[in-house]
Amino acid sequence: MGFARLTYQPGVRKQDALWALLGHVSRLLARRADGCLLVDQRLMEPFTPEEQAYVIEQWLPRAAQEGGYRFGAVVVAHNVFARLATAMVVTAVRDLPMTYRYFEDEAEAVAWLLEQQRQCR
């Protein structure tokens, strides 16, 4: 078992590097074929408008369709504006075949993802 993990670091993100990283995450999800991703946003700065648009319009639809992304456990950011930006993204993609859950505690996020894997087997 196990799952893919995306951990945001503090500070400003370089757009090209973020796009490349998200592409790698999509390919990892496709290779793993379980649709599960732990997203650790605890240290994340808010998405820029460009990042938000890319994630909503391009990355998440592609990750769901081509990567099989179905379950996202988000360990929420300490920064309230980052939390709001993430909530806006999730609301914008609510019609995609994905389920998101938010967690303050990483252990709870891990347990939830592992349960999703067990139920999908």
Per-residue model confidence as pLDDT tens digits over 48-75: 999 999 999 999 999 999 999 999 999 9
What is the DSSP secondary structure assignment for residue 55, as one 8-state letter? I
Cα separation, 5 vs 8, in Å, equals 10
Mean pLDDT per 10-residue segment, the chain (121 residues): 91 95 96 94 96 97 95 97 95 95 97 90 66
Q: How far apart are CA 121 and CA 104, in angstroms?
A: 27
User: Rounded CA gap, 114 and 20, in Å?
Assistant: 27
Of 23, 22, 21, 29, give the one whose Cα is nearest residue 4.
29
Amino acid 35: pLDDT: 93
The phi and psi torsions of 72 (rounded to 5 degrees) equal: -120, 120
Quote the CA–CA distance of 121 and 119 in Å, as a whole number: 6
Q: Tell me the two tokens of residue 110.
A: 């891990």
Joined tokens for residue 82: 């980052």
